Amino acid sequence: MGAGPNGLAAAITLQRSGLSVLLVEGKETVGGGLRSAELTLPGFRHDIGSAIHPMAVGSPFFQSVPLADFGLRFVNPPVAAAHPVDGGRAAALQGTVANTARSLGADEQVYRDLLEPLVDRWPGLAPDVLGPLGLPKHPLDFAAFGLNAIQPITVLAKRFQTPEARGLLAGMAAHATLPLTNLTTSAIALVLMTMGHRHNWPIPIGGSGAIAQAMAAYFQSLGGTIITNWPVRSLAELPPARAVLLDVTPRQLLALAGDRFSTLYRRQLARFRYGMGVFKVDWALDGPIPFTASACRQAGTVHLGGTLDEIRQAEQQTAAGNHPDRPFVLLAQQSLFDDSRAPTGKHTAWAYCHVPNGSTLDRTDAIERQIERFAPGFRDQILARHTLNTTQLETYNPNFVGGDINGGRLDITQLFTRPVLSLSPYNTSAKGIYVCSSSTPPGSGVHGMCGFHAANRVLADLFT
């Protein structure tokens, strides 16, 4: 139940194992956070949820499915992600580790020493990093990764001297939607940078919805069945099945099946914590964003927040329930590389900033001021805009509780032990009911691994 990327991944994994799978989706189309639409003006196609997909090529699940045979195509920008600082300078995650390192001046060797071993060993590390906590298949490599990954990014960044390198690390870590002083914020940064060096940060041609459509087409080619427009309110509505997998967060899980769970499991789910929310803006633009730094004009993703200290302060203030004047902004400019997104000569842009969970404050001006700071004249390009606050995001996708797009707080206490502390986090206390959402390991991102692991747990429990 739930046809987001994890629900689709679970359905595919079970169906290609020879089972009969019904996939139920409450909305008109599959996708969850993978949908695209004309939100502003006719001809301008925007990604409603996720936009850039570092994991959609590099995760073990996506590497195992032939989605190109079902129309999915990606384009790789010259720069995966750029991070400008004041004065027209910017760090750029691009190409090989050596290419990026050379652009960091005095930090070249430090960057190479940190990233090259991880990039080289990633194929062996990926199953351990992108799965539930257990005995690693490559314990020495995993331990080496863990020693860096467990650190707050504010500690790891002390190895670097330049504002550009330190800012690049901070922007990557801010994807965790946590204060940068928290443990494990380095893990998010290291994985995202590794993906950039191994697979770029690809953009799906035609919009993020193309990923979901290709997954659905592949599932159906295997014999699977999809029913949309079925907003399930209770598991009693579903037909009899050996197993039910739910692509939902703990709040919806309790509402759907709470009476079937043990008292202890219900209490554990009730203690699950959600993280900061986001405020999102999409723009129809008369031309490309006029970034001062050339690397930003070649990047699919741009992190806007200035120095590490600025981003640290902004994220700390947001986590404390405030709205900083200069929020950290994640921006994507897909139309620079995919001309199907906008009419000829026009462009789109997609951005969000973090806000306190449940905030309904309009952050459009704060976001646009941050863009204008690094791209003077940006506002002159705006033809139309569309905004989504946390309440509207949750209405669009109930898994975005309070605007939390990560399926729950991703701190040290919930990184691997989500949604509860268990040897198998995909099992519930009720036989035959499983969780396959981003509220299970390895958490958020379009990688399909939550659904993949949940489906394999079902196969091990019930069909071996």
pLDDT digits (tens, 9 = 90+) for 313-353: 999 999 999 999 999 999 999 999 999 999 999 999 999 99
Cα(194)–Cα(186) distance, integer angstroms: 12
CB contact at 8 A, 440 and 456:
no
Of the candidates 101, 339, 84, the one whose C-alpha atom is nearest the C-alpha of residue 203 is 339
pLDDT tens profile 342-393: 999 999 999 999 999 999 999 999 999 999 999 999 999 999 999 999 999 9
* Residue 89 buriedness (CB in 10 A; 0-12 / 13-18 / 19+): middle
Higher pLDDT, 177 or 463: 177
Q: Catalogue all structural domains in the chain, each as residue range(s) with its CATH number.
A: 5-273+397-462 (3.50.50.60)
Q: Is the peptide bond before 163 cis (omega within 30 degrees of 0)?
A: no
- Helices (DSSP H) in 208-335: which residue ranges? 209-221, 250-257, 263-270, 294-297, 308-319
101-130: average pLDDT: 94
Cα(226)–Cα(164) distance, integer angstroms: 47
**Reported pTM:** 0.95
Rg (CA), the chain: 21
pLDDT of residue 47: 97
pLDDT of residue 138: 86
Of the candidates 244, 282, 241, 272, the one whose C-alpha atom is nearest the C-alpha of residue 364 is 282
Phi, then psi, of 78 in degrees rounded to 5: -60, -35
